[in-house]
Amino acid sequence: GAVVSQHPSWVICKSGTSVKIECRSLDFQATTMFWYRQFPKQSLMLMATSNEGSKATYEQGVEKDKFLINHASLTLSTLTVTSAHPEDSSFYICSARDRRAGTGNYGYTFGSGTRLTVV
Amino acid sequence: AQSVSQHNHHVILSEAASLELGCNYSYGGTVNLFWYVQYPGQHLQLLLKYFSGDPLVKGIKGFEAEFIKSKFSFNLRKPSVQWSDTAEYFCAVMSGTGGFKTIFGAGTRLFVKA
């Protein structure tokens, strides 16, 4: 089945530094990738939607200059948390939509997540 | 805007008990509905999904869900739970006209006592 590889799975960084998270679709082309954030004991909150070759669409309240998303190819999307602060510590998860999915039957595959801790 | 409501935040059951987790959504158009499970320390996995057709959907591990359009509901059920079903369960809704974004409910933590 479709696999999304997310890397790193766990990262600790100092306050003020930047962290890049990668999501790769291993055996399919992902036209669309979604980035979610999950705080402890809360649900997944959609941060942004990225389509290959175009600018990401951010949800209300998400700072696009802080969370930089690049979707340069059909198999790779990156999320960069710039100038990270302790309140950015969270679990970040990507989800990719399989390009092969036809209308009305959308396949989504989730990455394994990245736990970011900012100290 | 779409929203998803899961009624129970925490559920504790004994093994062999029956399970029903409520999920209601608010969206007037055509929707695709999902239930995901997240086992401790693991990533999200798809349990089942509804796109069209039979409103009673069967998923993996003995789970099923029923789409009741008039009630905007998609409740998850399992006749007899096992200790290994201890996990967090998320209901999710995606509309075809909303940029295909998937909106998640707050989740229900299920603990099954052995």
Give the span between the Cα atoms of A50 and A99, in whole angstroms: 13
pLDDT of residue A102: 55
Whether residue B43 and residue A46 make contact (CB cut-off 8 A), yes or no, is no
Regions of chain A where pLDDT drops below 50: 103-105
Whether residue A57 and residue B99 make contact (CB cut-off 8 A), yes or no, is yes
pLDDT of residue B29: 76
Q: How confident is the model over B8-30, as pLDDT tens digits?
A: 889 999 999 999 999 999 877 77
Whether residue B101 and residue A46 make contact (CB cut-off 8 A), yes or no, is yes
As given in the structure block, the two tokens for residue A31 are 């036209």
How do strand A10-13 and strand A114-118 relate by DSSP bridges? parallel
Q: How confident is the model over B58-113, as pLDDT tens digits?
A: 998 999 999 999 999 999 999 999 999 999 999 998 876 555 678 889 899 999 99
Does residue B94 sit at the A interface (CB-CB below 8 Å)? yes
As given in the structure block, the two tokens for residue B64 are 């099923």
Q: Give me the amino acid identity at B54.
A: D
How many Cβ atoms from other residues are within 10 Å of residue B23's Cβ? 26
Residue of B nearest to A43 (CA): B106
pLDDT of residue B19: 97
How far from B27 is each of A18, A43, B70, B83, B94, CA to CA, in Å?
A: 38, 19, 12, 35, 10
How far from A92 is each of A67, A79, B51, CA to CA, in Å?
A: 11, 9, 27
pLDDT of residue A11: 94
pLDDT of residue B113: 95
Does residue A18 sit at the B interface (CB-CB below 8 Å)? no
Give the span between the Cα atoms of A42 and B82, in whole angstroms: 24
pLDDT of residue A104: 45
pLDDT of residue A106: 52
